Structure 1
């Protein structure tokens, strides 16, 4: 079931996203949160920090599991997703860092890191709320368009379009990693609830394909149509092609 929430401003976008997460933590303080990186959720995380400082929400008993991580970047690299989460959220709220989990991209054997992360997810049980962004080619996490999709955490070679989209965070395209470790589609779709965040005109066409087009591995986000509880938060530009 898709529940599309249309917003008219960045402030409203961030408030709606943060309120969904905060409401879950208020009713289930020990919730398992599936978190995403990228520019779209930053405002949501900023709003969550505000709510924490106001005393409206606590992360003290929560656990978090991030979708993905670049391969080849140490955890303290400025563009690693571990560093991103620490800087944007974890260091500003009361979450126990030992309860925050991001796939390892710095291990010598990435395939083993993927296996270990999958075991961690299995031990955690079901993700209560999974936050997702949407790639311009329809990827979620780093599950890229392909002839088949992986269910479990795995190593993936990044599409050139994906690397180009992320190059703005690096000094040069050559510095953008070519591979990543990502949670698989099976793990994502096992979540109790999914919140998909999409902003901007550049996401309008792929969002329409994902939500209204055919189910296809060439648009991994289309698999969200099979999930029973998906909330889609869109601004006017991203939602312009949705019925």
Structure 2
């Protein structure tokens, strides 16, 4: 191997090392033997049983794969809920979410907490490019890695369109009091990778995703105010 090839190899290896992502259970307080499939984001003021925590180091744009890994590790200790845990700082000022280095606390919650009524509708952008959408003829621009949250009225119909010549249009209505999650993307979205939670339906470039994956995206994406 000549010097040029050696230099190229070292550079490639260094870049791969820098961009590598490590996801691991950094603390296990206890293990719950529940078999719940859901894994939802909760507020810190909700009564929940603390089980442990996961640390994520390094960035990956493959959100499905990151979620799948976190989901599987959380299920190793029976967690069915999570909350973002900011790192401690000397000045005690909470730092903005860093997608390259963050910590998740893991919990067990009762099914009553999971089934609480919610009229929220969440729409997520793809991670690649801005997406223009229309909701009941009102236009919104979703920047990369952002989402829009709307409080719907039970029974009302909401028409969501991607405003493209061959784009998708769907009609949704919340009659059951459960949150709804959709991802808007011009890219092909792969099938469910986790086996238990993730993407569950697709209509053109508007993809319905389940609550577990949607709540994960709510944590790592920026909300449009």
Decide which structure has the larger Cα Rg and report it. 2
Higher-RCO chain (CA-CA 8 Å, sequence separation at least 6): 1
**Structure with the bigger percentage of helix:** 1
Same fold by TM-score, threshold 0.5 exceeded? no
Q: TM class by shorter-chain length?
A: under 0.3
TM-score, normalised with respect to structure 1: 0.22
